[in-house]
Amino acid sequence: MLPYVIRRLIQSVPILLAVAGLVFVMFSVIPGDFASTQMADGRSVVDAEQVARMNTQFGLDDPVHIRFANYVGKLLTLDLGTSFRTRQPVINSLLERIWPSLQLAMAAMLFAIGVGVPLGFLAALKPGGWLDMQSMIVAVSGLSLPQFWLGLMLMYGFALILGWFPSFGYGDGNPRYLVLPAVALGVAPLALLARTTRAAVLEVMNADFVRTARAKGNSEARVMRWHVARNAAVIVLTTLGLQFGSIMGGAVVIEKLFAWPGIGSLLVDSVSLRDIPVVQACILLLVLFFLIVNIIVDVLCALIDPRIKYT
Protein backbone atom coordinates (compact mmCIF):
# COMPACT_ATOMS: atom_id res chain seq x y z
CA MET A 1 0.00 0.00 0.00
CA LEU A 2 2.61 2.54 1.08
CA PRO A 3 4.88 1.91 -1.94
CA TYR A 4 1.82 2.46 -4.16
CA VAL A 5 1.05 5.81 -2.52
CA ILE A 6 4.67 6.88 -2.82
CA ARG A 7 4.79 5.87 -6.47
CA ARG A 8 1.62 7.82 -7.20
CA LEU A 9 3.05 10.87 -5.45
CA ILE A 10 6.22 10.61 -7.54
CA GLN A 11 4.13 10.26 -10.69
CA SER A 12 2.40 13.54 -9.95
CA VAL A 13 5.68 15.48 -9.88
CA PRO A 14 5.97 15.74 -13.70
CA ILE A 15 2.34 16.89 -13.89
CA LEU A 16 2.99 19.58 -11.29
CA LEU A 17 6.13 20.65 -13.15
CA ALA A 18 4.18 20.84 -16.40
CA VAL A 19 1.48 22.92 -14.71
CA ALA A 20 4.17 25.18 -13.24
CA GLY A 21 5.66 25.55 -16.71
CA LEU A 22 2.29 26.27 -18.29
CA VAL A 23 1.37 28.84 -15.67
CA PHE A 24 4.80 30.42 -15.95
CA VAL A 25 4.64 30.69 -19.74
CA MET A 26 1.11 32.11 -19.60
CA PHE A 27 2.16 34.90 -17.29
CA SER A 28 5.36 35.67 -19.19
CA VAL A 29 3.41 36.65 -22.28
CA ILE A 30 1.24 39.24 -20.55
CA PRO A 31 0.91 42.27 -22.78
CA GLY A 32 2.32 45.26 -20.93
CA ASP A 33 4.67 44.63 -18.04
CA PHE A 34 3.60 44.66 -14.45
CA ALA A 35 5.64 47.59 -13.28
CA SER A 36 4.27 50.08 -15.78
CA THR A 37 0.65 49.00 -15.22
CA GLN A 38 1.18 49.42 -11.47
CA MET A 39 2.78 52.81 -12.05
CA ALA A 40 0.12 53.95 -14.46
CA ASP A 41 -2.51 53.12 -11.89
CA GLY A 42 -3.82 56.49 -10.80
CA ARG A 43 -0.86 58.45 -12.11
CA SER A 44 -0.61 60.39 -15.31
CA VAL A 45 3.16 60.20 -15.76
CA VAL A 46 5.00 56.89 -15.63
CA ASP A 47 8.39 57.32 -14.05
CA ALA A 48 10.73 55.30 -16.30
CA GLU A 49 13.43 55.10 -13.67
CA GLN A 50 11.07 53.66 -11.09
CA VAL A 51 9.74 51.11 -13.62
CA ALA A 52 13.29 49.94 -14.23
CA ARG A 53 13.94 49.67 -10.53
CA MET A 54 10.79 47.58 -9.95
CA ASN A 55 11.66 45.30 -12.85
CA THR A 56 15.09 44.66 -11.35
CA GLN A 57 13.67 44.21 -7.89
CA PHE A 58 11.25 41.48 -9.02
CA GLY A 59 13.76 39.94 -11.45
CA LEU A 60 11.59 40.75 -14.46
CA ASP A 61 14.59 41.83 -16.59
CA ASP A 62 16.18 38.42 -17.09
CA PRO A 63 15.51 36.29 -20.20
CA VAL A 64 12.54 33.93 -19.96
CA HIS A 65 14.43 30.64 -19.63
CA ILE A 66 16.56 31.97 -16.78
CA ARG A 67 13.46 33.23 -15.03
CA PHE A 68 11.83 29.80 -15.38
CA ALA A 69 14.91 28.00 -14.03
CA ASN A 70 14.99 30.41 -11.10
CA TYR A 71 11.29 29.91 -10.57
CA VAL A 72 11.46 26.09 -10.43
CA GLY A 73 14.57 26.22 -8.27
CA LYS A 74 12.76 28.42 -5.78
CA LEU A 75 9.64 26.24 -5.89
CA LEU A 76 11.73 23.28 -4.72
CA THR A 77 12.68 25.20 -1.60
CA LEU A 78 9.04 26.29 -1.10
CA ASP A 79 10.03 29.84 -1.95
CA LEU A 80 6.94 30.97 -3.85
CA GLY A 81 8.19 34.49 -4.38
CA THR A 82 7.07 37.83 -3.05
CA SER A 83 3.63 39.27 -3.50
CA PHE A 84 3.69 42.33 -5.79
CA ARG A 85 1.05 43.93 -3.64
CA THR A 86 1.90 43.21 -0.01
CA ARG A 87 5.68 42.72 -0.56
CA GLN A 88 5.37 39.74 1.82
CA PRO A 89 6.47 36.16 0.98
CA VAL A 90 3.59 34.44 -0.86
CA ILE A 91 3.94 31.32 1.26
CA ASN A 92 2.81 33.24 4.35
CA SER A 93 -0.51 34.34 2.87
CA LEU A 94 -1.08 30.81 1.52
CA LEU A 95 -0.42 29.14 4.86
CA GLU A 96 -2.89 31.29 6.75
CA ARG A 97 -5.60 30.59 4.17
CA ILE A 98 -5.26 26.83 3.76
CA TRP A 99 -7.16 25.89 6.91
CA PRO A 100 -10.30 27.98 6.21
CA SER A 101 -10.41 26.53 2.68
CA LEU A 102 -10.05 22.97 3.95
CA GLN A 103 -12.74 23.57 6.57
CA LEU A 104 -15.19 24.79 3.96
CA ALA A 105 -14.37 22.00 1.51
CA MET A 106 -14.71 19.28 4.14
CA ALA A 107 -17.98 20.65 5.52
CA ALA A 108 -19.43 20.87 1.99
CA MET A 109 -18.32 17.34 1.12
CA LEU A 110 -19.71 15.93 4.39
CA PHE A 111 -23.06 17.54 3.62
CA ALA A 112 -23.00 16.31 0.00
CA ILE A 113 -22.03 12.74 0.88
CA GLY A 114 -24.29 12.55 3.94
CA VAL A 115 -27.39 13.54 1.99
CA GLY A 116 -26.56 12.65 -1.61
CA VAL A 117 -25.46 9.03 -1.19
CA PRO A 118 -28.44 7.86 0.94
CA LEU A 119 -30.80 9.74 -1.37
CA GLY A 120 -29.42 8.02 -4.46
CA PHE A 121 -29.39 4.64 -2.72
CA LEU A 122 -33.01 4.88 -1.59
CA ALA A 123 -34.07 6.15 -5.00
CA ALA A 124 -32.50 3.13 -6.68
CA LEU A 125 -34.33 0.65 -4.45
CA LYS A 126 -37.62 1.59 -6.12
CA PRO A 127 -36.87 2.89 -9.62
CA GLY A 128 -39.75 4.98 -10.93
CA GLY A 129 -41.20 5.38 -7.45
CA TRP A 130 -42.17 8.61 -5.74
CA LEU A 131 -38.82 9.10 -3.99
CA ASP A 132 -36.96 8.26 -7.18
CA MET A 133 -38.80 10.96 -9.14
CA GLN A 134 -38.31 13.55 -6.38
CA SER A 135 -34.63 12.82 -5.92
CA MET A 136 -33.91 12.95 -9.63
CA ILE A 137 -35.67 16.33 -9.89
CA VAL A 138 -33.44 17.50 -7.03
CA ALA A 139 -30.40 16.09 -8.81
CA VAL A 140 -31.04 17.74 -12.19
CA SER A 141 -31.89 21.06 -10.55
CA GLY A 142 -28.88 20.93 -8.25
CA LEU A 143 -26.54 20.50 -11.18
CA SER A 144 -28.11 23.43 -13.04
CA LEU A 145 -28.09 25.97 -10.20
CA PRO A 146 -25.41 28.66 -10.30
CA GLN A 147 -23.74 28.10 -6.93
CA PHE A 148 -23.15 31.76 -6.17
CA TRP A 149 -26.80 32.51 -6.83
CA LEU A 150 -27.87 29.70 -4.51
CA GLY A 151 -25.49 31.25 -1.98
CA LEU A 152 -27.14 34.66 -2.43
CA MET A 153 -30.60 33.17 -1.98
CA LEU A 154 -29.53 31.24 1.15
CA MET A 155 -28.01 34.45 2.48
CA TYR A 156 -31.27 36.29 1.87
CA GLY A 157 -33.51 33.58 3.33
CA PHE A 158 -31.56 32.20 6.26
CA ALA A 159 -29.41 35.16 7.26
CA LEU A 160 -31.42 38.29 6.46
CA ILE A 161 -35.04 37.15 6.81
CA LEU A 162 -34.82 34.34 9.36
CA GLY A 163 -31.61 35.50 11.02
CA TRP A 164 -30.52 31.93 11.83
CA PHE A 165 -26.99 32.28 10.51
CA PRO A 166 -24.54 35.14 9.93
CA SER A 167 -24.73 36.34 6.33
CA PHE A 168 -21.00 36.28 5.54
CA GLY A 169 -17.51 36.33 6.97
CA TYR A 170 -15.36 33.81 8.80
CA GLY A 171 -16.21 34.72 12.39
CA ASP A 172 -12.86 33.44 13.72
CA GLY A 173 -13.81 29.85 13.05
CA ASN A 174 -17.28 29.96 14.66
CA PRO A 175 -19.08 27.02 12.99
CA ARG A 176 -22.28 29.04 12.53
CA TYR A 177 -20.45 31.01 9.83
CA LEU A 178 -19.63 27.78 8.03
CA VAL A 179 -23.20 26.56 7.47
CA LEU A 180 -24.42 28.73 4.58
CA PRO A 181 -21.28 28.62 2.41
CA ALA A 182 -20.94 24.86 2.98
CA VAL A 183 -24.54 24.22 1.91
CA ALA A 184 -24.21 26.51 -1.12
CA LEU A 185 -21.04 24.70 -2.17
CA GLY A 186 -22.35 21.24 -1.30
CA VAL A 187 -25.58 21.20 -3.31
CA ALA A 188 -23.94 20.56 -6.71
CA PRO A 189 -21.81 17.60 -5.52
CA LEU A 190 -24.86 16.37 -3.59
CA ALA A 191 -26.85 16.28 -6.82
CA LEU A 192 -24.01 14.59 -8.65
CA LEU A 193 -23.60 12.00 -5.89
CA ALA A 194 -27.33 11.22 -5.77
CA ARG A 195 -27.39 10.70 -9.53
CA THR A 196 -24.22 8.61 -9.64
CA THR A 197 -25.16 6.52 -6.60
CA ARG A 198 -28.55 5.75 -8.09
CA ALA A 199 -27.04 4.74 -11.42
CA ALA A 200 -24.30 2.67 -9.80
CA VAL A 201 -26.69 0.83 -7.45
CA LEU A 202 -29.10 0.09 -10.31
CA GLU A 203 -26.24 -1.26 -12.40
CA VAL A 204 -24.80 -3.41 -9.60
CA MET A 205 -28.20 -4.77 -8.55
CA ASN A 206 -28.60 -6.38 -11.96
CA ALA A 207 -25.16 -7.99 -11.85
CA ASP A 208 -24.76 -11.77 -11.78
CA PHE A 209 -22.88 -11.83 -8.48
CA VAL A 210 -25.81 -10.13 -6.73
CA ARG A 211 -28.21 -12.77 -8.07
CA THR A 212 -25.78 -15.46 -6.88
CA ALA A 213 -25.52 -13.85 -3.45
CA ARG A 214 -29.31 -13.87 -3.15
CA ALA A 215 -29.50 -17.46 -4.43
CA LYS A 216 -27.07 -18.55 -1.74
CA GLY A 217 -29.70 -17.48 0.79
CA ASN A 218 -28.04 -14.32 2.09
CA SER A 219 -30.35 -11.90 3.85
CA GLU A 220 -31.34 -8.84 1.83
CA ALA A 221 -29.47 -6.55 4.23
CA ARG A 222 -26.28 -8.59 3.80
CA VAL A 223 -26.61 -8.58 0.01
CA MET A 224 -27.07 -4.81 0.05
CA ARG A 225 -24.18 -4.13 2.37
CA TRP A 226 -21.57 -6.57 1.11
CA HIS A 227 -22.37 -6.94 -2.53
CA VAL A 228 -24.29 -3.90 -3.75
CA ALA A 229 -22.93 -1.08 -1.58
CA ARG A 230 -19.28 -2.06 -1.88
CA ASN A 231 -19.34 -2.36 -5.64
CA ALA A 232 -21.39 0.78 -6.10
CA ALA A 233 -19.01 2.70 -3.81
CA VAL A 234 -16.13 2.22 -6.27
CA ILE A 235 -18.13 3.76 -9.13
CA VAL A 236 -19.30 6.64 -6.94
CA LEU A 237 -15.82 7.38 -5.61
CA THR A 238 -14.29 7.40 -9.08
CA THR A 239 -16.90 9.87 -10.36
CA LEU A 240 -16.37 12.05 -7.30
CA GLY A 241 -12.61 12.15 -7.92
CA LEU A 242 -13.08 13.12 -11.56
CA GLN A 243 -15.60 15.85 -10.74
CA PHE A 244 -13.66 17.24 -7.80
CA GLY A 245 -12.14 19.88 -10.07
CA SER A 246 -15.50 21.50 -10.72
CA ILE A 247 -16.22 21.47 -6.99
CA MET A 248 -12.97 23.37 -6.46
CA GLY A 249 -13.97 25.88 -9.13
CA GLY A 250 -17.25 26.37 -7.27
CA ALA A 251 -15.40 26.87 -4.01
CA VAL A 252 -13.49 29.81 -5.49
CA VAL A 253 -16.73 31.63 -6.28
CA ILE A 254 -18.43 30.71 -2.98
CA GLU A 255 -15.43 31.89 -0.95
CA LYS A 256 -15.55 35.23 -2.73
CA LEU A 257 -19.32 35.60 -2.23
CA PHE A 258 -19.20 34.81 1.50
CA ALA A 259 -15.95 36.77 2.06
CA TRP A 260 -14.40 33.53 3.31
CA PRO A 261 -10.65 33.99 3.87
CA GLY A 262 -9.52 30.95 1.84
CA ILE A 263 -7.29 30.20 -1.14
CA GLY A 264 -10.17 30.81 -3.59
CA SER A 265 -10.87 34.37 -2.49
CA LEU A 266 -7.14 35.05 -2.43
CA LEU A 267 -6.92 33.81 -6.03
CA VAL A 268 -9.80 36.01 -7.21
CA ASP A 269 -8.43 39.11 -5.47
CA SER A 270 -4.96 38.47 -6.88
CA VAL A 271 -6.32 37.99 -10.39
CA SER A 272 -8.15 41.33 -10.16
CA LEU A 273 -5.01 43.07 -8.93
CA ARG A 274 -2.71 41.12 -11.29
CA ASP A 275 -0.58 40.00 -8.38
CA ILE A 276 1.06 37.32 -10.52
CA PRO A 277 3.24 35.48 -7.95
CA VAL A 278 0.19 34.92 -5.76
CA VAL A 279 -1.95 33.79 -8.73
CA GLN A 280 0.74 31.28 -9.76
CA ALA A 281 1.10 29.94 -6.23
CA CYS A 282 -2.67 29.57 -5.70
CA ILE A 283 -3.07 27.66 -8.97
CA LEU A 284 -0.19 25.33 -8.16
CA LEU A 285 -1.56 24.69 -4.69
CA LEU A 286 -5.07 23.96 -6.02
CA VAL A 287 -3.70 21.57 -8.67
CA LEU A 288 -1.61 19.82 -6.01
CA PHE A 289 -4.70 19.46 -3.85
CA PHE A 290 -6.69 18.07 -6.78
CA LEU A 291 -3.96 15.49 -7.49
CA ILE A 292 -3.83 14.44 -3.83
CA VAL A 293 -7.62 14.02 -3.69
CA ASN A 294 -7.45 11.75 -6.71
CA ILE A 295 -4.67 9.67 -5.16
CA ILE A 296 -6.79 9.29 -2.00
CA VAL A 297 -9.77 8.25 -4.14
CA ASP A 298 -7.68 5.60 -5.92
CA VAL A 299 -6.35 4.24 -2.64
CA LEU A 300 -9.87 4.08 -1.18
CA CYS A 301 -11.13 2.25 -4.28
CA ALA A 302 -8.33 -0.29 -3.96
CA LEU A 303 -9.17 -0.77 -0.27
CA ILE A 304 -12.86 -1.35 -1.01
CA ASP A 305 -12.43 -3.52 -4.09
CA PRO A 306 -9.73 -6.20 -3.78
CA ARG A 307 -9.86 -6.79 -7.55
CA ILE A 308 -8.11 -3.45 -8.09
CA LYS A 309 -4.37 -4.00 -8.08
CA TYR A 310 -1.88 -1.45 -6.85
CA THR A 311 -0.25 -0.71 -10.15
Partner 1 sequence: MKFRANLWIGGVLFAAIVIGGALAPWLAHTDPVMDANLMNAEVSPGSEFWFGTDSQGRDIYSRVLYGARISLTVGIVSQMINTVIGVALGMSAGYFGGWWDDFVNGLTNLMLSIPSLIFALAIMAILQPGLTSLLIALGLTNWSYTCRLSRAATLSIKQQGYVEAARSFGSGNTRIMLTQILPNIAGPIIVIGTLGMGGAVLAEAALSFLGLGIRPPFPSWGSMLSDARDQITTAPWISIFPGLAIFLTVLGLNLLGDGLRDILDPHSQFRKA
Where on the chain is the footprint of partner 1 (CB under 8 A)? 15, 18-19, 22-23, 26-27, 29-31, 140-141, 143-149, 152-153, 155-156, 160, 168, 195-196, 198-199, 202-203, 244-246, 248-250, 252-253, 256-257, 267-268, 270-272, 274, 276, 279, 283, 286-287, 290-291
- Measured from the CB of residue 29, what is the shortest distance to partner 1 in angstroms? 7
- Three-state SS sequence of the chain: CHHHHHHHHHHHHHHHHHHHHHHHHHHHCCCCCHHHHHHHCCCCCCCHHHHHHHHHHCCCCCCHHHHHHHHHHHHHCCCCCECCCCCCEHHHHHHHHHHHHHHHHHHHHHHHHHHHHHHHHHHHHCCCCHHHHHHHHHHHHHHHCCHHHHHHHHHHHHHHHCCCCCCCCCHHHCHHHCHHHHHHHHHHHHHHHHHHHHHHHHHHHCCHHHHHHHHCCCCHHHHHHHHHHHHHHHHHHHHHHHHHHHHHHHHHHHHHHCCCCCHHHHHHHHHHHCCHHHHHHHHHHHHHHHHHHHHHHHHHHHHHCCCCCCC
By beta-carbon proximity to partner 1, the closer residue of 37 and 218 is: 37
Residue closer to partner 1, measured from CB, 77 or 206: 206
Q: Give min distance, CB of 45 to partner 1, in A.
A: 23
Compute the least distance from the CB of residue 82 to partner 1, in Å: 18
CB closer to partner 1, 227 vs 256: 256
Q: How far is the CB of 178 from partner 1 (least distance, A)?
A: 18
In angstroms, what CA-CA distances link 229 with 198, 212, 240? 11, 16, 16
Q: Which is nearer to partner 1, 104 or 276 (CB)?
A: 276
CB of 156 or CB of 310, closer to partner 1: 156
Find the shortest distance in angstroms from Cβ 99 to partner 1: 20
Asked if 307 and 21 count as a contact pair (C-beta separation under 8 A), the reply is no
Cβ proximity to partner 1: between 203 and 218 the closer is 203
Q: At its nearest, how many Å lie between partner 1 and the CB of residue 160?
A: 6
**112 versus 155: smaller Cβ distance to partner 1:** 155
CB 207 within 8 A of CB 178: no
| Cβ 279 to partner 1 shortest distance, Å | 6
Nearer to partner 1, 149 or 310 (CB): 149
Min dist CB 94 to partner 1, Å, is 15
